[in-house]
Amino acid sequence: TRTRGRTPSDDHSGFVKIKQRETREAGDARVTLTEKTQRAQMEWRQGRAGQMRLREQLKEPSLAGWQRRKIELKLKLGADGWEPEKKIATSSMEKIRLLNSEFPKEWTIKHLSEQFKISQESVRRILKSKFQSSEEHTEQREHQRKLKIRAFKRSEKGGSK
């Protein structure tokens, strides 16, 4: 058997594997779906139906702005929910909060997302969150960072000899 990447209904994407067995006597290829592929195909169809329902809800004119944004996020993020592509350090999050609170007109969500090279949704979530790490945790993290820098510098010196 050989394996080729195919989706249940689309030849252009490669997230599901399909096993293909070639029969020598008939000369044509017979395609059989694995159990995993059949499950993925069913989930894919159910996901499409859910997306269609959400799109219908978006057409409703009486939706409030926050409801519209919530539905758009569900459509964009899918079933997995929020999983940002790029994660930034806690110190950067603190800078984002500080800049926005001190200079809200200059440091808008759009400007912050461009400067920190993260999505506008990430900036919006950072500004919305009120998380503050404890000083003990911050000191411990800083101590670990310094240890890693020292180890890196020692390895550089040892490697150049």
Question: Does 13 score more than 50 pLDDT?
Answer: no
Residue identified by tokens 């909060």 is 97
Please give the Cα distance from 110 to 51 (Å, whole number). Answer: 27
pLDDT in tens, 41-96: 777 676 777 778 888 888 888 888 888 888 887 777 766 667 777 788 888 898 99
Question: Does 17 score more than 90 pLDDT?
Answer: no
Q: What is the pLDDT of residue 147?
A: 93
Residue of 49 and 19 predicted with greater confidence: 49
State the pTM of this model: 0.47
Q: What is the pLDDT of residue 11?
A: 45
Question: Does 112 score more than 90 pLDDT?
Answer: yes
Going by C-alpha positions, the residue among 153, 135, 131 that lies closest to residue 143 is 135
pLDDT in tens, 120-144: 888 999 999 887 778 888 888 889 9
Residue of 158 and 111 predicted with greater confidence: 111
Top-ranked range on mean pLDDT: pick from 11-20, 40-49, 101-110: 101-110
Residue identified by tokens 């096993």 is 19
Residue identified by tokens 């594997």 is 17
From residue 10, how far is each of 3, 14, 15, 119, 126 by CA, in Å?
A: 16, 9, 10, 29, 37
